[in-house]
């Protein structure tokens, strides 16, 4: 698999010509091409929901299905060997991207939701008993709430929830107060998809380790925006999703410490995850294949590997730096609009916060705003963002969210703010 890489010369040219990361990368995305004026463009401000895909990823998918389409691990012929080689190369890329110690620690899944469910259904069912406690937070996505609720019903374990501060950050004092000798797992988001706050994971893990507690990290909103190293963070499990990483839908991954994964039983039974099958019993395959029953999303995993290489070629530090500037600019512009309330910490104070702004407008419904903006070619999110408990905490049933990426520009933000102001005025006049 030949991976695309930006050269040092291109970065030097960008800096010498006073260009930015969007100028360098937008040409790679078909969605942003063949548009002459800002009014005719589709302004995509929903990157937190799913990322756009660069041509390098699209070509990787096309190449697999056109020339290397075969099942992996099962055939001796050349097509199967080539497919297996590229599939396992994607696993190596994923392991390297998060600083995993071994490719055995990378389990390919359908998405991050499945990754969390694997831990709940295998580690949870196997290790937890009535009275054991799991700590979650008020800001969690439903994917990091529902599996634990189901586990609680099966095992009798107790779920406890950490609150948030007035500024929309995790309440570390509440976390410390709820930790005890019964706490077996802390499962939390790295960057909130609604509040945008970046939880101080290294500090949190230092706090909980003395209780013998494991940590699962939902890194869906952080992996594409800043460097994430599982060993530096001192966590035990991590869930990631390709479609938020400029990769294809339908594939994600679970990372877990090898010693934990080896003790966990398989999630699904069938082909690929076995070593030997008899009529009465079966023996499981070694890691990581023990958790990968059936034919996997081969082309999609290869595409995810290409996407991770693409992000690395840009440089996660470069991505974070550019998005940080854009987020500060977005907040500045939103705060200039009368009646707008933004949730979560200010980007001037939380330098690692997500490149998104979730907001509410007094007297105006978020869905109406999103619909009017869409008529102007501007795509934002409206609704509860799969965080209903958090919205109830704020007394809301919906909010609006604009989320950025390294392809976003100041000009797009200006146009968004202009049309947002116009939409608010229209709705208020006609309410």
pLDDT digits (tens, 9 = 90+) for 379-389: 999 999 999 99
Q: In the chain, pLDDT over 70 holds for what percent of residues? A: 94
Question: What predicted TM-score, i.e. pTM, was given to this entire model?
Answer: 0.95
Structure token digits, residue 128 = 């937890």
pLDDT in tens, 339-352: 999 999 999 998 99
> What is the mean pLDDT of the segment spanning 149-177?
98
Q: Taking Cα atoms as reference points, which of 7, 131, 10, 1 lies closest to residue 63?
A: 1
Q: Where does 59-312 sit in CATH, by number?
A: 3.40.640.10
Identify the pLDDT of residue 152.
Answer: 98
Question: Where along the chain do the CATH 3.40.640.10 domains lie?
Answer: 59-312
Among the listed residues 197, 213, 220, 386, the single catalytic one is 386
Q: Which residue has the tokens 């570390």?
A: 172
pLDDT in tens, 353-396: 999 999 999 999 999 999 999 999 999 999 999 999 999 999 99
Residue pair 272/293 in contact by the 8 Å Cβ criterion: yes
Residue 92 scores a pLDDT above 90: yes
pLDDT in tens, 44-76: 999 999 999 999 999 999 999 999 999 998 778
> What is the mean pLDDT of the segment spanning 173-183?
97
Question: Where along the chain do the CATH 3.90.1150.10 domains lie?
Answer: 8-53+315-429
Based on the residue annotation, tell me whether 213 is a catalytic residue of this protein: no
Identify the pLDDT of residue 419.
Answer: 97
> What is the mean pLDDT of the segment spanning 291-300?
96
Q: Centre a 10 Å sphere on the Cβ of residue 165 and count the other Cβ atoms it contains.
A: 13
Helix (H, G, I), strand (E, B) or coil at 31: helix
pLDDT in tens, 97-117: 999 999 999 999 999 999 999
Distance of CA 17 to the CA centre of its chain: 33
Identify the pLDDT of residue 37.
Answer: 47
Domain 8-53+315-429 has CATH 3.90.1150.10: yes
Identify the pLDDT of residue 35.
Answer: 56
Identify the pLDDT of residue 74.
Answer: 77
The C-alpha atoms of residue 291 and residue 115 are separated, in whole angstroms, by 10
């Amino acid at each position: 698999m030949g991976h695309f890489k930006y050269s040092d010369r291109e970065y030097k040219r960008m800096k010498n010509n006073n260009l930015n990361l969007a100028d360098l990368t937008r040409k790679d995305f078909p969605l942003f091409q063949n548009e002459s004026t800002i009014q005719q463009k589709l302004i995509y401000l929903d990157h937190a929901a799913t990322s756009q895909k660069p041509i390098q990823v699209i070509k990787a998918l096309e190449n697999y299905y056109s020339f290397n389409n075969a099942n992996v691990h099962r055939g001796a012929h050349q097509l199967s060997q080539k497919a297996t080689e590229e599939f396992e190369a994607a696993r190596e890329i994923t392991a390297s991207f998060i600083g995993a110690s071994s490719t055995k620690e990378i389990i390919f899944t359908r998405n991050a939701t499945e990754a969390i469910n694997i831990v709940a259904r295998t580690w949870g069912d196997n290790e937890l008993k009535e009275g054991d406690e799991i700590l979650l937070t008020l800001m969690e996505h439903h994917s990091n709430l529902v599996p634990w609720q189901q586990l609680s019903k099966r095992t009798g374990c107790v779920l406890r929830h950490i609150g948030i501060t007035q500024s929309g950050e995790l309440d570390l004092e509440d976390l410390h107060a709820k930790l005890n000798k019964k706490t077996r797992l802390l499962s939390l988001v790295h960057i909130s998809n609604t509040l945008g706050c970046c939880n101080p994971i290294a500090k949190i893990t230092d706090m909980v380790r003395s209780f013998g507690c494991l940590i699962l990290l939902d890194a869906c909103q952080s992996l594409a925006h800043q460097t994430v190293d599982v060993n530096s963070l001192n966590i035990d499990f991590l869930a990631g999703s390709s479609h938020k990483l400029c990769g294809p839908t339908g594939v994600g991954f679970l990372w877990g410490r090898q010693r934990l994964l080896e003790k966990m039983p398989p999630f699904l039974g069938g082909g690929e995850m076995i070593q030997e099958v008899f009529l009465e019993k079966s023996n499981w395959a070694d890691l990581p294949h023990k958790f990968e029953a059936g034919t996997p999303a081969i082309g999609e995993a290869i595409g995810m590997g290409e996407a991770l290489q693409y992000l690395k070629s840009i440089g996660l530090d470069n991505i974070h730096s550019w998005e940080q500037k854009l987020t500060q600019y977005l907040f500045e512009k939103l705060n200039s609009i009368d009646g707008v309330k933004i949730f979560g910490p200010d980007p001037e104070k939380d330098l690692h916060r997500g490149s998104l702004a979730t907001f509410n407008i007094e007297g105006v419904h978020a869905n109406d705003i999103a619909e009017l903006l869409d008529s102007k070619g501007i795509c934002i999110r409206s609704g509860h963002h799969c965080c209903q408990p958090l919205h109830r905490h704020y007394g809301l049933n919906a909010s609006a969210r604009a989320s950025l990426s390294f392809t976003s520009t100041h000009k797009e933000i200006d146009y968004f703010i202009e049309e947002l102001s116009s939409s608010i005025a229209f709705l208020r006049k006609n309410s």
